[in-house]
Amino acid sequence: MSDIITRRLVILGKQGAGKGTQCELLVERYGVAHISTGDILRAAAAAGTELGRQAKELMDAGELVGDELILGIVAQRLTEPDTAAGFLLDGFPRTEAQADGLFALLAPHSVERAIDLDVPDEVVTQRMLDRSRADDTPEAIARRLELYEAETAPLRKLFADRGVLVTVDGLGTPAQVHGRIVAAIEEAP
């Protein structure tokens, strides 16, 4: 029981890597809260709030929302009752500053596992084009992939240095990928 209560998971990977699908399966398996910063920001954009308008402008241009704003959103979300059994962070952290903020928020605890879902650029690009979101233009996709490499990829080293990073092949059926992820989560550190 204590393993379930303390599940603190992060899923990394480029947009279009299949994180959303895997998050649904992981939430069902472990009973943890799925915290998707992308979903939170898209909901704010749809609601037309000032934050939503700012976020929509950035997302439509393929840019990322700032660290301080995202940290505040995540800190607030982690206080909600459904996170008591644990959580799965999707789309956060994206930068080293966000990761440092997350470690400070969780102290004295830490992330149990950071799962890096590895999928080639050409595959994620096609997946994003196929899903037809307004912010998934070829230009915006290319920009997000550039930003991912520049800002998010260095997180691999940070999580590896803490002994929590596992890289999982993201190609295959959802069930195959899920099996690899579960094995990586449940593997002894």
**Dist CA 68 CA 66 (whole Å):** 6
Does residue 6 register a pLDDT over 70?
no
Instruction: Give the pLDDT score at 166.
Output: 95
Average pLDDT over residues 67-90: 87
pLDDT tens digits for range 51-74: 677 778 887 887 777 888 788 878
- CATH code for the domain defined by 2-186: 3.40.50.300
pLDDT tens digits for range 87-125: 999 988 988 999 999 999 999 988 999 999 999 999 999
**Dist CA 95 CA 97 (whole Å):** 5
Select the highest-mean-pLDDT range: 12-16, 26-30, 140-144.
26-30
**Dist CA 53 CA 131 (whole Å):** 22
Is-cis flag, bond preceding 138, omega within 30? no
DSSP of 112-165, one letter per residue? SEEEEEE--HHHHHHHHHHHT-TT--HHHHHHHHHHIIIIITTHHHHHHHTT-E
Confidence label for 38 from pLDDT (cuts 50, 70 and 90): confident
Instruction: Give the pLDDT score at 3.
Output: 42
Q: Closest Cα partner for 30 from 127, 156, 115, 155? A: 115
Confidence label for 188 from pLDDT (cuts 50, 70 and 90): low
Instruction: Give the pLDDT score at 5.
Output: 45
pLDDT tens digits for range 131-180: 878 878 889 999 989 988 888 778 999 999 999 999 999 999 999 999 99
Is residue 118 within 8 A of residue 174, CB to CB? The reply is no
